[in-house]
Every structure is written in C-alpha cells, then in structure tokens.
Amino acid sequence: MRHRHGQTLASQENYVLKVLERFNMAEIRPVTTSLANHFKLSSKQCPQSPEYEEMSRVSYTSAVGSRMYAMVCTRLDLAYAISTVSQFMSNSAKQYREVVKWVLRYLRGTARLGLVF
C-alpha cells in the first residue's frame, strides 16, 4: 500500500508484473479495454482432442485463476472479463486462450491501478 496526500492506494502492481513474467507476457503490447467486443465465446469451440485439451487446460486454468485473485483483491475492473472467461474453464480452445492473452495485455497497461482509500 502506498500513501498519497493522506490517501492510501491498495495496488497489486508487483503481483501483476510477476503474473505477466510467469506467462512470458512482460513485454506484450498493452490494450486499453479488459475484454474486446470482437471475442465471441461459446461452448461449441471446445477442443476435440482429449490430449490437447488436457495439456492446454493447466496453463489456461492457472492464467484465469491468477487474474481472478487480482480481481477479488483490488482490480474490480477485471470482473466482467474474468467472469466471462471463467465460464469456459474446462475448455481451452484457441479462442479462450486469446481472450486470456487479451486480459494479460490489459493488465500490462494497467498494472499500477488499485483502490484508493
């Protein structure tokens, strides 16, 4: 927590930066919205191969969970995006991973955001 002019800023900047590094996204180009309109997700996009699904589900689930932690603690601006992608936790099709990558890009540009008390 940082203090500014008698106010306290609760920020998870260090956590966000560590998450970006963990998923090799520390240098990714940032975006200004947490979820873009061009993403159309549905359960019909589920991968067909069980091996592919099992391999990719681990990192997808971990990536969504990391963002969910930040959302619950200080990043309420992530609520809609995380709510949307968490509906597809058991599916890790390319479209879902692209949305998670988009959220990482948003976090990259907004890492310093937090709650001011």
If you search the block for the tokens 């996204």, which residue do you land on? 25
pLDDT tens digits for range 53-67 = 444 544 667 777 777
Q: Is pLDDT at 44 greater than 70 in this prediction?
A: no
pLDDT digits (tens, 9 = 90+) for 5-42: 678 888 889 989 998 998 888 999 999 988 877 777 65
What is the value of pTM for the model shown? 0.71
6 CB contacts (<8 Å, ≥6 apart)? Answer: none
**What is residue 46's predicted lDDT score, i.e. its pLDDT?**
53
Domains of the chain: which residue ranges?
2-116
CB 78 within 8 Å of CB 70: yes
